[in-house]
Structure 1
Amino acid sequence: MLTSEFNRRWATLLIEALSRHAIQHVCIAPGSRSTPLTLAAAAHPRLQCHTHFDERGLGHLALGLAKGSGQPVAVIVTSGTAAANLYPALIEAGLTGERLVMLTADRPPELLACGANQAIRQEGMFGAHPAAVLNLPRPTPAIPAAWLVSALDQAMAELKGGALHINCPFAEPLYGGEDGAHQAWSAALGDWWAGRDPWLALPGESPAAAEADWPQWRQRRGVVLAGRLSAEEGVAVARWATALSWPLLADVQSQTGQPLPCAALWLSAPEARATLAEAELVVQFGSSLTGQPLLHWQANTRPLQWWLIEAQPGRRDPAHHRGRRIAAPVSAWLAQHPPLARQPWAPVLAACAAQAQQRVTREVKTFGEAMLAHRLPALLPAHGQLFLGNSLIVRLVDALAQLPAGYPVFGNRGASGIDGLISTAAGVQRATGKPTLLLLGDLSALYDLNALALLRATPAPLVILLVNNNGGRIFSLLPTPEAQREQFYCMPQQVSFKPAAAMFGLHYACPAEWPALEEAVHAAWARPGSTLIEVCTVPDAGAHLLQQLQRAEAS
């Protein structure tokens, strides 16, 4: 009984210490070895607990909660392969900057490497992907409570982005009530228990200095490039670029309103390339560009200077330009670098963008994923948010749509995998409480089908627009060998998602034309719960139309 009581006391301190660092959400999977952590989190008055039976989906649920809230999120899983299933979400967080705290329960040392059940080597199991690792000892009153709480405080204070992996060994027994033993161990922290501040406060980062030569650079020919930004940042960057009269090339994740829409098409036009070649400075805000044409332009453009501003540290420029890597919050940097109004130096780009947008409106006539991408703004819920899947669909939206400025757009565009997309969108909605539109493909949905269980009760209406083009049609855009493309790349599954919606109690529709789709979507916004709307399309129609439009612009 003494072991179980102290395990619980140790876990209670651990969870309390984490709650002092803005953690509000804890995601919990079932398991026995994690019992001390689970019960401590469940008993905490300021934490909201979320559960899921699939650890891989649970990790992505936490990722979405962190995206939506902007705060760190904790995850509790048991030992063994349960912990290994957190790997994809942990990797994604490391690339996109969300803060996750992975609490993996573990067997004590005497049960490792001796054939004990459900015991694997968990220390260092995630390799170089966590931002930080804290391998805790087996709970013992010989270790002061102040050591545990200060170790956690330091780890959390240093966590600027990515995942903190805390490995937590617990010896049996794991169950039993509290009998007051070792109360003095916890009481040693005194009145800390009555407050909400960390035990150990560490200084924050100093703000970045302004670029001293900005007054000179703002008078030259510049281009603004917007990658993944928050809604607030996207609006601010768009205003800044407009005030400078510099062209703004914007990714679908930028939330800038894409004032030069369809860049994935018109960037191929010779006139546009020649004009952009005159740029002397490119100022890029945010990273993780989506479309290949924009990535190609980024890779081949060599201005005098390339500045990349993003709060996350590290190299974020795959083209390795000469210039400045400025790790600073975007809004703060903009405030330090006021624009100077001048005459636009590249007005031809607006004409190129308008021509491309008109071509899209003309050519996208058939109901399918291209029409869905082009007309997506008409389906967005008021005061809501959009979550975009990966592979072909995000590229179609990037190339064919013009999303509203400041409208929240989320996605998993770090590692850009198709795993965990439904789970992540569920987490985003739980954090924000907003009506949510999730757009993804059929293979992505199959990969995360378990996550439909997370959508049975939602804080606001949620619509899954599921494009069923019978396989991974992104490979139709790539030079994959035609003879093997279907079997080894696209992998068509010939499935309907209607039974899946029924199994998890979701509303379902399968419209075959645009008016019916609009009607189904608007009906979904008017009722509570989740709706799965399956849009069945001709398999390669969307990919082929995108290629056709790109060829037309290039010529």
Structure 2
Amino acid sequence: MSISSFNRRWATVILEALTRHGVRHVCIAPGSRSTPLTLAAAENRAFIHHTHFDERGLGHLALGLAKASKQPVAVIVTSGTAVANLYPALIEAGLTGEKLILLTADRPPELIDCGANQAIRQPGMFASHPTESLALPRPSQDIPARWLVSAIDNLLGSLHGGAVHINCPFAEPLYGDMDENDLLWLQALGAWWQDDKPWLQAPARLQCEKQRDWFFWRQKRGVIIAGRMSAAEGQQLAHWAKTLGWPLIGDALSQTGQPLPCADLWLGNARAVTELNQAQIILQFGSSLTGKRLLQWQAVCEPQEYWLIDSLPGRLDPAHHRGRRLVSDVAGWLEQHPAEPRAPWYSAVEQLSSQAWERVSAQRDTFGEAQFAHRITAYLPEQGQVFLGNSLVVRLVDALGQLPAGYPVYSNRGASGIDGLLSTAAGVQRASARPTLAIVGDLSALYDLNALALLRQVSAPFVLVVVNNNGGQIFSLLPTPPAEREQFYLMPQHVDFAHAAAMFGLNYHRPENWDALDQAFAGAWSKAGATLIELVVKETDGAQTLQNLLAQVSHL
């Protein structure tokens, strides 16, 4: 029996088993030890293949594909530090629920801990961050194919979210012609090859029970907090809240349309907090809240009941309220718990929100990042989507902007890292084929700069806005020591991105006023391909504008 041939047969079963669990996108990095997996994926016509030379970016590309497709995405990498580079994306998926299947090639056991090249201890290397892990043995005809396929099915059949790690050791040789002698091992699976279902079917669906006392609570004064959810759920929740007559405090990622915009400003006003504290029940849908003032109020509010509804398991409440943790998708929960039409019970909050919006709008003519966040709706592509970077970008949009209800918004707000943001945005675009606006800061763009290579393959207009405020200006909002702030926190790089765009063949603009920015966007949306728009702004203006507005609104 040829070792290289049987390695391929073994990998073929693994990849085919993945198709039975909805995997269509496979992300592949170059490597020799992963050859059996790579070639098995290449031969399987069910897959759409994506490649990238950087495993860290590849993991985030898969993360973006999973976000937009709502389906599990497979990743294939070779052994050694290539595997370790998947860690950031794996962590993010564990916190936000995207399904990633990491297929990591490995040296066989006899090459571990003996000085062999590119051999590290891979089983268990991701600690508690994967939802599940499976350390496969070295391929052997002594192990039935039905064991292998049922092991994969058992791992994936009950996966509700997060990443799974499947470690796949392969002995050499890795290359060679296929051997017909090992076909009998594959054929033992019989009609499974002509089917489209898993070998072992063990679906387990999380279903929240209807809250029998909802008819009682829906007649009370309530507040709704909306965190991360899908576009359709955000739109549905906004209508549900309006029917109830309850205030909805919508995060930028909620896609509810933020009916009370500028929450991060007006929550700093004592009148707003006093009124909200009259609530008898608070319902939070989705997690990963952005606004600092919202998080502060959420931490100290003490209603009679606090319910948190999210499809992810776990507490998801850093304030540890006494109440109910209801594991359910938002749409399903709303259908189970209909709203009863009632008049709004709040007035101060609505008034303060309107006044805050007017204060922000009064400064919209100044060319800066805070004003861009306020104007963001004007730059969204039709039938498109937006990806928001972390740090100051998402906070400004959350505090000063108002995104349309039901408009798709994506972000990496689980671990909230700035690594892999461009790669994730590229994955979101590939999975959806929609026009895409991505907004990141200059340090975030530098962190994932080689992901610009992925933007050469977009299937619809893609605009990457790099807000260049020369460093990590988020630290301007924090009480960092002034003497050490620039060197150890802000870390200004004094770069522009024209050369980076040229290196990867992307269209590039550096507008210096609103008219030039409008023209750059109009041109970018009118043609296929990617455009990098560098928004060079004064270093601390964005943070200072936010702080000034906070002070103004707090005294209204």
3-state SS, counterpart of residue 363 of structure 1: coil
Please tell me whether the aligned partners of residues 206 and 328 of structure 2 are also in contact (alpha carbons under 8 angstroms). no
Q: Output the CA distance in 2 between the equivalents of 1:318 and 1:93.
A: 19
Which letter does structure 2 place at the counterpart of 1:106? D
Please tell me whether the aligned partners of residues 5 and 181 of structure 1 are also in contact (alpha carbons under 8 angstroms). no
Match of 1:154 in 2: 154
Residues 465-499 of structure 1, C-alpha deviations (whole Å, 9 max, x = no match): 11000000000000000000000000000001000
3-state SS, counterpart of residue 338 of structure 1: coil
Q: Output the CA distance in 1 between the equivalents of 2:236 and 2:117.
A: 55
Q: Output the CA distance in 1 between the equivalents of 2:330 and 2:206.
A: 15
Please tell me whether the aligned partners of residues 59 and 90 of structure 1 are also in contact (alpha carbons under 8 angstroms). yes
Aligned residues: 555
Match of 1:352 in 2: 352
Q: Output the CA distance in 2 between the equivalents of 1:43 and 1:440.
A: 37
Deviation of residue 249 (structure 1)?
0.5
Match of 1:363 in 2: 363
Q: Output the CA distance in 2 between the equivalents of 1:229 and 1:207.
A: 17
Instruction: Structure 1: give runs of 5+ residues left out of the alignment.
Output: none
Deviation of residue 365 (structure 1)?
3.4
3-state SS, counterpart of residue 66 of structure 2: helix
Match of 1:328 in 2: 328
Deviation of residue 209 (structure 1)?
1.4
Q: Output the CA distance in 2 between the equivalents of 1:158 and 1:339.
A: 32
Please tell me whether the aligned partners of residues 456 and 506 of structure 2 are also in contact (alpha carbons under 8 angstroms). yes
Please tell me whether the aligned partners of residues 389 and 441 of structure 2 are also in contact (alpha carbons under 8 angstroms). yes
Deviation of residue 206 (structure 1)?
5.5
Residues 137-168 of structure 1, C-alpha deviations (whole Å, 9 max, x = no match): 00000000000000000100121111000000
Match of 1:138 in 2: 138
Which letter does structure 2 place at the counterpart of 1:9? R
Deviation of residue 462 (structure 1)?
0.2
Residues 346-376 of structure 1, C-alpha deviations (whole Å, 9 max, x = no match): 1221111000000001134320101110001
Deviation of residue 343 (structure 1)?
1.7
1:293 lines up with 2:293 in the alignment: yes
Change (3 A) 1:266 1:47: same
Compute the TM-score of the two structures, normalised by the length of structure 1.
0.99
Instruction: Structure 2: give runs of 5+ residues left out of the alignment.
Output: none
Match of 2:439 in 1: 439
Which letter does structure 1 place at the counterpart of 2:176? G
Match of 1:54 in 2: 54
Please tell me whether the aligned partners of residues 226 and 251 of structure 1 are also in contact (alpha carbons under 8 angstroms). yes
Compute the TM-score of the two structures, normalised by the length of structure 2.
0.99
1:14 lines up with 2:9 in the alignment: no
Match of 2:28 in 1: 28
Q: Output the CA distance in 2 between the equivalents of 1:102 and 1:315.
A: 26
Match of 2:492 in 1: 492
3-state SS, counterpart of residue 298 of structure 2: helix
Match of 1:126 in 2: 126
Q: Output the CA distance in 1 between the equivalents of 2:461 and 2:160.
A: 32
RMSD (Å), alpha carbons: 0.7
Deviation of residue 551 (structure 1)?
1.1
Give the percent of matched residue pairs that are identical in Structure 1 and Structure 2.
63
1:172 lines up with 2:186 in the alignment: no
Change (3 A) 1:267 1:206: closer
1:260 lines up with 2:267 in the alignment: no
Please tell me whether the aligned partners of residues 158 and 204 of structure 2 are also in contact (alpha carbons under 8 angstroms). no
Deviation of residue 207 (structure 1)?
2.7
3-state SS, counterpart of residue 220 of structure 1: coil
Match of 2:471 in 1: 471
Q: Output the CA distance in 2 between the equivalents of 1:441 and 1:368.
A: 13
Match of 2:481 in 1: 481
Match of 2:198 in 1: 198
Change (3 A) 1:372 1:172: same
3-state SS, counterpart of residue 13 of structure 1: helix
Deviation of residue 182 (structure 1)?
1.3
Match of 1:501 in 2: 501
Please tell me whether the aligned partners of residues 385 and 435 of structure 2 are also in contact (alpha carbons under 8 angstroms). yes
Please tell me whether the aligned partners of residues 412 and 421 of structure 1 are also in contact (alpha carbons under 8 angstroms). yes
3-state SS, counterpart of residue 6 of structure 1: helix
Q: Output the CA distance in 2 between the equivalents of 1:133 and 1:472.
A: 36
Q: Output the CA distance in 2 between the equivalents of 1:421 and 1:38.
A: 25
Deviation of residue 37 (structure 1)?
0.0
1:395 lines up with 2:395 in the alignment: yes
1:537 lines up with 2:527 in the alignment: no
1:45 lines up with 2:42 in the alignment: no
Please tell me whether the aligned partners of residues 363 and 371 of structure 2 are also in contact (alpha carbons under 8 angstroms). no
**Which shows bigger deviation, 195-204 or 474-483?**
195-204
Which letter does structure 2 place at the counterpart of 1:270? A
Which letter does structure 1 place at the counterpart of 2:67? K
Deviation of residue 457 (structure 1)?
1.8
Which letter does structure 2 place at the counterpart of 1:512? E
Q: Output the CA distance in 1 between the equivalents of 2:376 and 2:432.
A: 21
